Amino acid sequence: MPCIDQQTKTITFTVDSIPLSEINHTDDSYRVTTNNKCEDLIESISEIGLINLPILRQNQHGYYIISGFRRIAACRNLKLNSIQARIVVKCNSEIELVKLVIADNSCQRSLNLIECSRSIQLLNHHITEKKDLFEISEKLGIVNSLPLFTKIEKLCRLPDLIQNCILDNTISLSMAIELSTLKKEEGVAFALLFKNLQIGLNLQNELMTLIQEISSRDTTPLLAILYEKELQELVKSEEYTRPQISQQIRLYLRKMRYPRITAYEKKIRTDINNLKLGPKTVIKPPKNFEGTGYNLNLAFHNIHDLKNHQSTLEKLIKSPELKSILNN
* pLDDT reported for residue 72: 94
DSSP string, 126-195: T---HHHHHHHHHHTTS-SSHHHHHHHTTGGGS-HHHHHHHHTTSS-HHHHHHHHTS-HHHHHHHHHHHH
Residues near 115 by beta carbon (within 8 Å), at least 6 away in sequence: 32, 33, 34, 105
Q: Where are the alpha helices (DSSP H) in 159-294?
A: 160-167, 173-180, 184-197, 201-218, 222-226, 229-235, 242-257, 259-274
Q: Please state, as a whole number, how many other Cβ atoms lie within 10 Å of the Cβ of residue 282.
A: 13
C-alpha distance from residue 316 to each of 179, 274, 282, 291, 320 (Å): 50, 12, 12, 21, 8
* pLDDT reported for residue 152: 95
Confidence of residue 1 (pLDDT cuts 50, 70, 90): very low
Does the structure show a pLDDT above 70 at 289? no
Q: How would you classify the pairing of strands 62-67 and 3-6?
A: unpaired
With 0.95 as the threshold, say if the pTM is over it: no
Q: How much is the mean pLDDT over the chain?
A: 88
Does the structure show a pLDDT above 80 at 235? yes
Contact between 152 and 133 under an 8 Å Cβ cutoff? The reply is: no
State the Rg of the chain over Cα: 30
Backbone angles phi, psi at 204, to 5 degrees: -60, -50
Confidence of residue 93 (pLDDT cuts 50, 70, 90): confident
C-alpha distance from residue 39 to each of 33, 44, 321 (Å): 15, 9, 68
Does the structure show a pLDDT above 80 at 288? no
Residues near 94 by beta carbon (within 8 Å), at least 6 away in sequence: 125, 126
Does the structure show a pLDDT above 80 at 261? no
Residues near 325 by beta carbon (within 8 Å), at least 6 away in sequence: 268, 271, 272, 283, 294
The pLDDT of 245-249, averaged and rounded, is 94
* pLDDT reported for residue 124: 94
Q: Tell me which of 263 and 7 has the higher pLDDT.
A: 263
C-alpha distance from residue 97 to each of 15, 134, 283 (Å): 16, 18, 68
Q: CA 177 from chain center: how many Å? A: 10
